[in-house]
Amino acid sequence: MSDQIHIRTEGRAGRITLTRPKALNALSYEMCLEIERALDAWRDDDAVSLVLIDAEGDKAFCAGGDVQQLYETARAGDYAFARRFWADEYRLNAKIAEYPKPFVALMQGFVMGGGVGISCHGSHRIVCDSTRIAMPECSIGLVPDVGGSLLLARAPGLLGEYLGTTGTRMGPGDAIHCGFADTYVPQEGWGKLTAELTETGDTDLIARHASSAPEADLRSHTQRIGAHFGAVTLRDIIASLQGEDDGFARDTLGAMQRNSPLSMACTIEMIRTLRNEGAGIRRALGLEYRYTYRSMEQGDFLEGVRAAIIDKDRNPAWQHDPDRLPDAAVSEMLAPLDAGIPTFEEEETT
């Protein structure tokens, strides 16, 4: 077992603890594989009644996937590594969403990208005052993935389009309101809750520790978000926001102007497709994989990572301007793959 993650059984619980607090518990490829092996081992183990995932440190449960290795291998001409990583990671996300035993996640601090994928598909998702959940992938030329597109599609009204294209961070109240979390438990009570869950394996105990969540700030913007994000295209949404002179519209435009237009347009298309279909986790992961598979050769991923993580100049040269983004570019990124899309069953990627 690596020094990035601590996996063990305690009492009635299978325990997974991320142990990279200095790296904000960024999720590596090996961590994904270790989590999956543990879930497979515990699935039919009668001694394990539930799975509990948490993380060391106060700043983050998991601030996202460790994308630097994906960038480095792709720059060297190896696109297969990242494609395999995404296929294996998405298989894990599906496994968590469909896991037959309770899957409890304690999410403090930043929960972003890959961190969402290993927590927000669980059956019992617990947040606290410090929780900040977001899907900021459009800022590095990706789309909300790890099944995040499905969570966004299921959010109330058109909050999914707003959250997906802006990367807005949700506090505990917003996370519950938008369907990324279930229960608010003050963090000072997590130690006692963990001890009780470990001893008994009884998730009914969570309700005894729950408190009223803070107010969902996004509730007050629901009507405004619906008015703007109901527009047909990304171009139309931006034009609608530009037609308003208020703080919300200016802040929203500011967030979107930092992101890849191609990523945002594809995000909108994916969310609407999933919502209209009433789709499930595997359909969502399949759509996401179409994009991520192409993201290095045809998308903005390499430029987005360069600007945000490698050179850190925060000045990406995106391929498209939102005013001149051709519809065909979106269609091409989300078109079925010639080689087919993995089912995210283990035999498909091993």
Q: What three-state secondary structure class fits 60? A: strand
Under a CB-based contact definition with an 8 Å cutoff, are residues 85 and 134 in contact? no
**CB neighbours of 104 closer than 8 A, spacing ≥ 6?**
50, 51, 52, 53, 122, 123, 124, 126, 197, 203, 206
**Cβ atoms within 10 Å of 225's Cβ, excluding its own:** 21
Active-site residue (options: 54, 66, 145, 288): 145
Active-site residue (options: 14, 109, 114, 167): 114
Beta-strand runs (E) in the chain: 5-10, 13-18, 50-55, 60-62, 103-107, 110-112, 124-127, 132-134, 183-184
Give first-to-last CA distance, the chain, whole Å.
20
Which residues, listed in sequence order, are joined to residue 27 by a DSSP beta bridge? 65
Q: In what order do the strands lie in the sheet with 183-184?
A: 5-10, 13-18, 50-55, 103-107, 124-127, 183-184
Under a CB-based contact definition with an 8 Å cutoff, are residues 98 and 80 in contact? no
124-127/103-107 β-pairing: parallel
Active-site residue (options: 34, 137, 174, 182): 137
From CA 225, how far away is CA 227, in angstroms rounded? 5
Is 137 a known active-site residue?
yes
Active-site residue (options: 14, 54, 64, 65): 65
Is 89 a known active-site residue?
no
Residues labelled catalytic: 65, 114, 137, 145
